Amino acid sequence: MTETDILDIGIEAKKHRTVLELRDVDFGYDEGHIVLHDINLKIDEPGLYCIIGPNGVGKSTMAKCVSKIVNPLKGEVLINGRNISEMSHKEVSKVVGYVPAFSQDVFSMSVVDTIMVGRHNHRRWGSVSKDLEMVYKAMRILRITDLADKQFNSLSSGQHQKVSIARGLVQETDVLILDEPTANLDVKFQVYVMELLRGIAEKLGIIILTICHDLNVTAKYSHKVIMLERPGRIYAYGTPEEVLTSENIEKVYGIRCRVVNEGEFGVPLVILGAPIMSDEIDGT
């Protein structure tokens, strides 16, 4: 994936620096079931940011708070200094794009029209040809031009994922959130997508937040890592080298591991071992 490939989609690099900030954010479905606790995070540099952590720590919930799919019980989510609670959903969708882990779209719509939905906030009189051009360029980048006229609800899970990423890309937002973007993709395309996302973040100057379960993929492609622990708190935040240590992984995931920092690719290599049993943790 070259710079020309990425920028040829027709999206201009951002001329302003985006700042995303979460201040003292708590989220729960009720007062007795708090999923996120006291989340404080400030991102003021473009890049690919991976959110990691065991199941049930609130990774997807945190992403939904940023995109205003759900609202915090307390605290603030700010984008460029503006509290999203004071913004309409349409206003938020102009600055934050969200691609869920599994598409809920079950209606019959062609792939072209599905991706075109991502251009909704940019549609102007006479802009259809430009929008279509961008959609087809996104399909070429995601290598799905052969699916253009197929019905979205007839596709495989992996094809769904590629179409959803293309739709998120053409939204032209300051922040793009992808929940498990490599789910259902083969290994080769997982690498392709992560390289694509990192390149887009760098060349277009946007913040891309992804939820990732593969620690080695996180190590290789992320600029920064946000590690969540139970019960829904940020345990560590920093570069892959700072966050992906054996001590952090063993504490948060409860599994023995070895982290090698002198690998061929110059990034931490996580070698997983055996789970740490609860009696070992408790010291009983």
DSSP-assigned beta bridge partners for residue 47? 207
List Cβ neighbours of 33 (8 Å cut-off, separation of 6 or more).
none
d(CA 74, CA 26) in angstroms, rounded, equals 5
Which neighbouring-strand residues pair with 175?
A: 96, 207
Domain containing 236: what range? 3-241
In a domain, 146, yes or no: yes
- The CATH number of the domain holding residue 164 is 3.40.50.300
Could you tell me which residues come within 8 angstroms of residue 86 by beta carbon, excluding any fewer than 6 positions away?
A: none
Q: Is residue 17 part of a domain?
A: yes
C-alpha count within 13 angstroms, C-beta hemisphere, residue 90 = 3
Q: Does the residue 174 lie in any domain?
A: yes
User: What's the confidence (pLDDT) of residue 101?
Assistant: 80
Name the DSSP letter for residue 105. -
Give the chain's domain count.
1
pLDDT score, position 4: 43
Q: What is the pLDDT of residue 283?
A: 43
In 3D space, the residue among 18, 117, 100 whose CA is nearest the CA of residue 64 turns out to be 100
Within a domain: 266: no
The residue with tokens 């019960």 is 231
pLDDT in tens, the chain (284 residues): 444 455 566 677 787 889 999 999 999 987 678 999 999 999 999 999 999 999 999 999 999 999 999 999 999 999 999 999 999 999 999 999 999 886 655 567 999 999 999 888 776 655 678 889 889 999 998 899 999 999 998 998 889 889 999 999 999 899 999 999 998 889 999 999 999 999 999 988 999 999 999 999 999 999 999 999 999 999 999 999 999 999 999 999 999 999 998 666 788 999 999 999 865 554 43
Position 83 in a domain: yes
| 191 lies in some domain | yes
In a domain, 248, yes or no: no
Tokens of 269: 């290599």
In a domain, 258, yes or no: no
Give the phi and the psi of residue 148 in degrees, each rounded to 5. Answer: -50, -45
What confidence score (pLDDT) does residue 269 get? 92
| pTM, entire model | 0.90
